[in-house]
């Protein structure tokens, strides 16, 4: 029997972040109000597509979720149809099953909200015939082609507020405070929060540091009467000639490496070399939690509305992006692959150096 309405699907892949619910809300309301579509929510990202788990989403379901963190559809940063573990833990390609489930849902289009891993998977599914559109979200802000991603601004606020609070205890106890922030292989979160929070030293994956230079800055501040220092370190930071600190390896994840531990490594080395007391704070998943900032609510809403419009027009294989304040579209192929990293000539690097911030070199 022929359906009278078109049907659109939504999934949120990868790690959660503030603003996902705002994006789901925008997509669902636009689909229902502007295009008279049915909306299907796929549970737990691509895992729901693999296991055929979904639910109908009504206008009422998305009312009142604009300011809520997380995603009510659920997410998974391990589910990958092209590398899915069987009951023995062996990785198999079940993408054909995911495509069959997509077809069984009778979707006229699918919107995938996610970061580089999610959108890489989405592009592969698009090449297998899944009609879809991508929406960029990640607190790492490392997706090419877009000036901003959903979640980055909210995580930036959380990290900056944490640095602000650590300033007072650092001053009181005359300590070196090392704050480890997320970001994986890109230093945007550390750079922006470090500059906004008044970090004395900012360490990024893109600029391998010299621990002797780091300690020189700390000692110079101490000798000049500034008896505390704030070191903001991206989790992907590494010393010159050294490697990133890997906390553990999750083989069935879209990104097997789990970074973490650079903060403790730095604090121990700073104490040993300078003789000054150092403490470390790892912000971890605090940066991915809580309510979205006004900017992220607006960005997610704008992305969601335009993504739904692309589906309605049948313009698949695209990703919505923010460029110079305007929402544009780019081919998904151009948006995935190599991530966006902080360049040494980035204007924010220059600004930070102008106000005396050290990058450990």
Tokens of 258: 């789990």
Tokens of 59: 């206008």
Give, for 262, the enclosing helix (H) or strand (E): helix 262-274
Q: Quote the Cα angle for 248-122-322, to 5°.
A: 95
**Measured torsion, CA atoms of residues 86, 89, 93, 97, in degrees rounded to the nearest 10:** 20
Candidates 140, 142, 200, 296; catalytic one? 140
Inter-residue contact 228 to 176 (CB < 8 Å): yes
Which residues fall within 8 angstroms of residue 361, CB to CB, at 6 or more apart? 207, 208, 209, 210, 213
Calculate Rg over the CA atoms of the chain.
Answer: 22
Inter-residue contact 189 to 162 (CB < 8 Å): no
284: DSSP letter? G
70: DSSP letter? S
**Closest Cα partner for 258 from 244, 268, 269, 272?**
244
Active site residue 140: yes
Inter-residue contact 203 to 232 (CB < 8 Å): yes
Catalytic residue numbers?
140
């Amino acid at each position: 029997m022929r359906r009278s309405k078109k049907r659109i699907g939504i999934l949120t892949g990868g790690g959660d972040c503030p603003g996902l619910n705002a994006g789901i809300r925008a997509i669902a309301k636009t689909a229902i109000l502007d295009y008279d579509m049915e909306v299907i929510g796929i549970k737990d990202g691509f895992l729901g597509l693999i296991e055929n788990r979904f639910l109908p989403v009504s206008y009422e379901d998305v009312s009142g979720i604009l300011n809520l963190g997380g995603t009510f559809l659920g997410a998974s940063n391990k589910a990958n149809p092209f590398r899915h573990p069987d009951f023995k833990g062996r990785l198999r390609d079940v993408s054909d099953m995911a495509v069959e489930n997509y077809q069984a849902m009778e979707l006229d289009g699918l919107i995938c909200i996610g970061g580089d891993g999610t959108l890489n998977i989405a592009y592969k599914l698009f090449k297998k015939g899944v009609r879809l559109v991508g929406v960029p979200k990640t607190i790492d802000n490392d997706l090419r082609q877009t000036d901003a991603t959903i979640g980055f601004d909210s995580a930036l606020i959380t990290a900056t507020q944490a640095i602000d609070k650590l300033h007072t205890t650092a001053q009181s106890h005359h300590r070196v405070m090392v704050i480890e922030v997320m970001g994986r292989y890109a230093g945007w979160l550390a750079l922006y929060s470090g500059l906004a929070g008044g970090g004395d030293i900012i360490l990024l994956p893109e600029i391998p540091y010299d621990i002797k230079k780091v300690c020189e800055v700390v000692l110079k501040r101490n000798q000049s009467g500034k008896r505390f220092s704030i070191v903001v370190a991206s989790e992907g930071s590494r010393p010159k000639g050294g490697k990133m600190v890997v906390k553990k390896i999750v083989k069935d994840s879209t990104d097997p490496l789990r970074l973490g531990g650079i903060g403790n490594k730095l604090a121990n080395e700073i104490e040993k070399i300078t003789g000054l007391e150092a403490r470390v704070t790892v912000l971890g998943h605090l940066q991915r939690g809580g309510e979205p900032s006004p900017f992220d609510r607006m960005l997610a809403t704008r992305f969601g509305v335009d993504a739904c419009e692309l589906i309605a027009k049948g313009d698949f294989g695209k990703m919505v992006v923010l460029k110079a304040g305007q929402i544009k579209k780019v081919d998904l192929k151009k948006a995935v692959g190599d991530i966006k990293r902080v360049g040494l000539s980035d204007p924010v690097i220059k600004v930070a150096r102008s106000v005396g911030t050290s990058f450990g070199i």
